[in-house]
Amino acid sequence: MAKAITWGECLDYTLRNLETWRNGGGRESAILYSGYFTRYQGRTFPAHRISKGLMTDICTSLEEEGKKNATINRFISAVSMVLKYCKENDVITFDLPTPFKRRKERDRTNRKYYTKEQVKDMLRISKDVMCNDNLADLIQAAALTGMRLDELLKLPVWRVDLNLNVINVEHTKNDEPRCIPIHPQLMNTLIRRCEGNPKDKVFGVDWNNADQVRWQFKNLLHRHMNFPDNGQYVFHCLRHSFATWHLANGTPPIELMSMLGHSNLTTTLLYAKATAAGQRKAQDDLQF
Is residue 10 classed exposed, middle or buried when 0-12, 13-18 and 19+ CB atoms within 10 A define those classes? Answer: buried
Tell me which residue range forms the domain holding 270: 116-277
The answer on 262 and 170 residing in a single domain is yes
The answer on 259 and 131 residing in a single domain is yes
Q: What is the pLDDT of residues 251-273, one digit of tens each?
A: 899 999 999 988 888 888 877 76
Q: Would 238 be classed as within a structural domain?
A: yes
The answer on 44 and 123 residing in a single domain is no
Q: Would 215 be classed as within a structural domain?
A: yes
Count of structural domains, the chain: 2
Q: Would 267 be classed as within a structural domain?
A: yes
Domain boundary among 37, 72, 88: 88
Q: Would 29 be classed as within a structural domain?
A: yes
CATH number at residue 144: 1.10.443.10
Low-confidence ranges of the chain (pLDDT < 50): 1
The answer on 57 and 167 residing in a single domain is no
Angle between helices 253-260 and 237-248 (to 10 degrees): 160
Q: Does pTM surpass 0.85? A: no
Q: What is the pLDDT of residues 55-113, one digit of tens each?
A: 999 999 998 888 888 889 999 999 999 999 999 999 999 999 888 988 876 655 566 89
CA distances for 141 relative to 121, 151, 187, angstroms = 15, 11, 10
Q: Would 104 be classed as within a structural domain?
A: no
For residues 227 and 113, give the distance between their C-alpha atoms in angstroms, rounded to a whole number.
12
